[in-house]
Amino acid sequence: MKVSRKKQKAETRQKLMDATAAELASGRSFDTLSLREVAKLAGIAPTSFYRHFHDMGSLGLALIEEQGETLLTLMHHVREQASGGHSLIRTSVETLFDHIFANQGMSRMILLESMSRHSVFREAAEKLFATMSRDLAEFLVWDAKERGVPMGHPQLAANSMVAILFTTGIALLKTPVEDRGRHIEAAIVQLRMIMRGAEAMGQKT
Amino acid sequence: MKVSRKKQKAETRQKLMDATAAELASGRSFDTLSLREVAKLAGIAPTSFYRHFHDMGSLGLALIEEQGETLLTLMHHVREQASGGHSLIRTSVETLFDHIFANQGMSRMILLESMSRHSVFREAAEKLFATMSRDLAEFLVWDAKERGVPMGHPQLAANSMVAILFTTGIALLKTPVEDRGRHIEAAIVQLRMIMRGAEAMGQKT
DNA sequence: AATTTCAGCGTACACTTGTACGCACAACTG
DNA sequence: CAGTTGTGCGTACAAGTGTACGCTGAAATT
C-alpha cells in the first residue's frame, strides 16, 4: 500500500507529459517527436506508452488542455487583482509573458498547432484563443462602462490584442534577454493604441 | 539540343519545389515531409534529389525565398496602384488574402517556421516579416503626411497591422467559404481601429 | 489466502527514413 | 569525331518508426 497503483500510474503519465514538454522547450517541434523517444525519455519501455495514451495525439491534446486551463485562470486572476488599480494592460502583458517564458515549449506548440490544418490539436488551441478573446472583450466592456468612456467593437479590439500578445510572445522567445524589455514596452504601446482606436470608434458611430 | 541540360535540370528542380508546395497546401507540415517522399512525388529517384538540393532544408529555404519575393513585390504594386484612390486598407487586405489563398501551404509554412526555434527557415521568415512591416510603416508615414494628419508610432502601428493580417490570414485558411467575407470585414475594421489609435496618439504627444 | 487485475517489459515484425556507391547514357566540350 | 560531364537510376544498409503478442510480478479484490 506504500505506492498505490493509481498514484503510480498518474506519476508515470505525468513523466510522459513532462518529458514531452521538456523536449518542446528545447525547440523540437511536436510532430518530430516519436512515441519511442518520449517513452525512453520518461524511462519506460516503448510499449508501456499505451498504458497511458492511445497515441502521441492524445498526449498532445492532454498537454494543450492542461496548459490552456492554467493560462485562462492566470489571466483571470490578474484582472481580479488589478481591477482596483489601473495599469491593467501593463500587468496583464507582463504576467502573460512571464508565463510564456516559463512554458516556452508548450506556448510555441499551442501557437503552431493552432495554425496547422488537419491536426487534432487545432480545435483545442483555437478554442483557447477564442475563450481568451471573449474573456478579454467582456472585461473591456465592463471596464469601459466603469470609466464612462465609449468603446467601439470591443470583441474586435480584443481579438487584435490577443493576436499581438501572442505574436510578440513568440517573438520574445527568440529575443536575447537584453532586448526583451524593449519588446514588452512596444507591445504595451501597441495595446494602448488599439484601446485608443476602439474608443475613438465608439464616439463617432 | 532539343532539351538543354540546364533547362532540364531547372525543370526537375521546379518539380521538386512544386511537389513540396502541393503537399504543404494539402495541410502537411514541412518537417513531416521526407526526402524520399517528395522525390517520389516529383517523379525522380530518391538519390537524384541530391542533384538539386543538398538537403530538405535547402529546398525549404528556396521555397520561402521565392514566396517572400513575390509577396513583397505584390504589396508594393498594390500601394502604387491605389495611391491615387483611397480605400487603400481594403485593397491591401483583399490582395494579400487572395495571395494567401492561392498559396495556402506556403503561407502556413512561412508563418509556422517563423516561430520554430532552431529552424534554418526562421531567419528567412522573420526577415520577410520585418521587411513587410518596414515597408508598411514607411508608407504610413508618407500617407499621413499626404493627408495632413499626425501619426504616432508608425512602426509599431505597422507591426500590429502585419500581425493582424497574418493571424487572420491563417484563420481564414480554416474558415468555410461562406464565413470568409465576415472575417475579412472584421480585419479591415481592426486595421482602421489601429489607424485611429495611431492618429490619436500622434495628436497628444 | 486465493484470485484477479494491470503497469511495465522484451521480443519480433514490417515499414520508412537518409544516404553511400557505382553504373548508364545523353548532353556538352574540345 | 572522341572525351568529359553530370542527371538520373538501382541496389544496399544501418537506424529508427509504430505496434502486436505474451510474459511477469505486485497491488487490489475477493
* CB within 8 Å: A153 and B189: yes
Total domain count for chain B?
A: 2
Are B189 and B107 found together in one domain? yes
Whether residue A22 is predicted with pLDDT greater than 90 in this model: the reply is yes
Are B23 and B101 found together in one domain? no
Nucleotide closest to A2 measured between CA and C1': D27
Domain assignment of residue B90, yes or no: yes
* CB within 8 Å: B115 and A117: no
* CB within 8 Å: B194 and A195: no
* pLDDT-wise least confident of A86-95, B21-30, B125-134: A86-95
What pLDDT is recorded for position B114? 79
Whether residue B104 is predicted with pLDDT greater than 60 in this model: the reply is yes
Whether residue B91 is predicted with pLDDT greater than 60 in this model: the reply is yes
Nearest to B190 among A27, A111, A160 (CB): A160
Helix, strand, coil percentages for chain B (3-state, nearest 5): 80, 0, 20
Higher model confidence: residue A45 or residue A27?
A45
- The span from the CA of A69 to the CA of B140, in Å, is 39
Are B99 and B194 found together in one domain? yes
- The span from the CA of B188 to the CA of B178, in Å, is 17
Residue the block writes with cell 498518474: A10
Are B12 and B107 found together in one domain? no
Please compute the mean of the pLDDT values over residues B14-37 and round it to a whole number: 94
- Give the domain-ending residue among A53, A70, A95: A53
Chain B interface disruption, residue of A28, A110, A120, A160, most B CBs within 10 A: A160
Domain assignment of residue B36, yes or no: yes
Are A152 and A78 found together in one domain? yes
pLDDT confidence of A118, banded at 50, 70, 90?
Answer: confident
Residue nearest to nucleotide C8 (CA to C1'): A48
Q: Tens of pLDDT along B59-82?
A: 999 999 999 999 999 999 998 887
B69 alpha carbon, distance to own chain's centre: 9
Interatomic CA–C1' length for residue A45 and nucleotide D24, angstroms: 14
Write the DSSP symbol of residue A116.
-
Are A105 and A192 found together in one domain? yes
C-alpha cell of residue A63: 498537454
Are B16 and B115 found together in one domain? no
Whether residue A2 is predicted with pLDDT greater than 80 in this model: the reply is no
Domain assignment of residue B58, yes or no: no
- The span from the CA of A132 to the CA of B197, in Å, is 22
Chain B contact set for A198 (CB, 8 A): 193, 197
Domain assignment of residue B76, yes or no: yes
Q: Tens of pLDDT along A75-88?
A: 999 988 876 655 78
Which residues 42-101 of A are in CB contact (within 8 Å) with B? none
Please compute the mean of the pLDDT values over residues A127-153 and round it to a whole number: 93
Are A74 and A15 found together in one domain? no
The verdict on B195 touching A (C-beta cutoff 8 Å) is yes
- The span from the CA of A98 to the CA of A169, in Å, is 10
Are B75 and B161 found together in one domain? yes
What pLDDT is recorded for position A199? 97
C-alpha cell of residue B28: 502537411
Nearest to A32 among B31, B160, B186 (CB): B31
Please compute the mean of the pLDDT values over residues B103-124 and round it to a whole number: 83
A6 touches strand D (CB under 7 A): yes
> How much is the mean pLDDT over chain B?
90
User: Within 13 Å, how many C-alpha atoms sit on residue B20's CB side?
Assistant: 29
Amino acid occupying residue A126: E
CATH code, B27: 1.10.10.60
* Domain enclosing residue B189, as ranges: 63-204
* CB within 8 Å: A160 and B160: yes
Whether residue A186 is predicted with pLDDT greater than 80 in this model: the reply is yes
Domain assignment of residue B24, yes or no: yes
* CB within 8 Å: B122 and A174: yes
A59 touches strand D (CB under 7 A): no
> How much is the mean pLDDT over chain A?
91
* Measured torsion, CA atoms of residues A58, A63, A64, A68, in degrees rounded to the nearest 10: 140
Distance from CA of A28 to the nearest CA of B (A): 8
Highest mean pLDDT among A84-98, A166-180, B81-95: A166-180
CATH code, B88: 1.10.357.10
pLDDT confidence of A1, banded at 50, 70, 90?
Answer: very low
Domain assignment of residue B72, yes or no: yes
Are A37 and A78 found together in one domain? no
Chain A contact set for B192 (CB, 8 A): 197, 201
Chain A interface disruption, residue of B108, B133, B156, most A CBs within 10 A: B156
Nearest to B164 among A108, A160, A173 (CB): A160
Interatomic CA–C1' length for residue A4 and nucleotide D29, angstroms: 14
The verdict on A102 touching B (C-beta cutoff 8 Å) is no
Are B107 and B14 found together in one domain? no
Going by C-alpha positions, the residue among A29, A125, A95 that lies closest to residue B115 is A29
What pLDDT is recorded for position A182? 95
Are A161 and A91 found together in one domain? yes
User: CB of B117 within 8 A of CB of A30?
Assistant: no
Q: What are phi and psi of A49, to 5 degrees?
A: -50, -40
Please provide the DSSP assignment of A50-77 as one string: GGT-SSHHHHHHHHHHHHHHHHHHHHHH
Please compute the mean of the pLDDT values over residues A18-46 and round it to a whole number: 95
Residue nearest to nucleotide D19 (CA to C1'): A47
